[in-house]
Amino acid sequence: MPKIFLSPSTQEWNEYVTGGTEEQYMNLLADRMEPYLRSSGINYVRNDPKKNVVGAISDSNSAYYDVHFALHSNAAPESLSGKLRGIDIYFSPKSYDSERLATIVANNLKSIYPLPDKSRAVPTTSLGEVTQTKAVAVLCELGYHDNVDDVTWLKNNLDPIAKNLVQSLCDYFGIPFINAGPVFKGIVSAGGSNLNLRDYPSLGGKIIGSIPDGATVTIYSDAGNGWYVVNYNGQTGYANKDFIVAG
């Protein structure tokens, strides 16, 4: 299953025009992304809020991740303070997958951002979280925090933005987006056999693990068509719900 490094801003000095900081609100956004990531079967690790961007890049590069996903908000030059609006999703022009992910994110955000023509994918050769990470990376500048209208949109739409961003990740990975719901336990009941754990909710999905009969699993969501998203011993995947007794 996909694994991402989720990197909300640690820039506590960037104040929002109506109160709060970039670090505060990007972490609140990441908090709201987590249930959708779990329910959709995407594994994640968060950056360390005590470290700066160099530390985030180092931590991301210290393990394998399919995507490095950075969350930020923008600020205009002093001469244009408060006058600019828009969403910029930065990608590496040297990476086809980085550009593809950025394009998906920017296009999906058009459906919820008040100025859809101002949500765009933008190449960068200077942003370290895009150019210095081993994983496919994008950096999301989700509006201008010195603009009252952008800050109001962001603060009032944290959950829809979180949901939209996870939908984009699912589109990129080619897996179903599944709405977040209650997490509960289940017992494998497979008649003495092991239950396969797969990377896609169908019998054609690749087997990525197995769960012993009688084992307890954590059920993150119902993927539909007879499949659960489950976690067993730290491994997440899809399992046939016919062989799980939900608690």
CATH of 3-173, one of 3.30.360.10, 3.50.50.100, 1.25.40.10, 3.40.630.40: 3.40.630.40
| Per-residue pLDDT at 122 | 98
pLDDT, residue 59, reads: 98
All CATH 3.40.630.40 domain ranges of the chain, comma separated, are: 3-173
What pLDDT does residue 119 have? 98
| Average pLDDT score over residue span 177-185 | 95
Q: Please, where in the chain does CATH 2.30.30.40 lie?
A: 184-246
> What is residue 247's predicted lDDT score, i.e. its pLDDT?
80
Q: Residues 179-206: what's their mean pLDDT?
A: 96
Residue 170's identity, in one-letter code, is C
pLDDT at 184: 95
Residue 237 confidence (pLDDT): 96
φ/ψ of 237, rounded to 5, equals -175, -170
Q: What is the mean pLDDT of residues 79-106?
A: 98
pLDDT in tens, 106-162: 999 999 999 999 999 999 999 999 999 999 999 999 999 999 999 999 999 999 999
Cβ 142 vs Cβ 154: under 8 Å: yes
- Position 79 confidence tier, pLDDT thresholds 50, 70, 90: very high
CATH topology of domain 184-246: SH3 type barrels. (2.30.30)
- Residue 179: pLDDT above 90? yes
Q: What single-letter amino acid sits at 96?
A: Y
pLDDT value at residue 150? 98
In the predicted model, what is the mean pLDDT of residues 90-111? 98
- Compute the average pLDDT of residues 212-229: 96
Mean pLDDT of the chain: 97
Cα–Cα distance between 98 and 139 in angstroms, integer? 10
Residues above pLDDT 70, as percent of the chain: 100
User: Averaged over 57-80, what is the pLDDT?
Assistant: 97
88's CB contacts (< 8 A; 6+ apart) are 74, 120, 122, 140, 141
Is residue 51 over pLDDT 90? yes
Contact 24, 31 (CB under 8 A): no
Whole-angstrom distance, CA of residue 31 vs CA of residue 61: 22
Kindly state the tokens that stand for 63: 């393990």
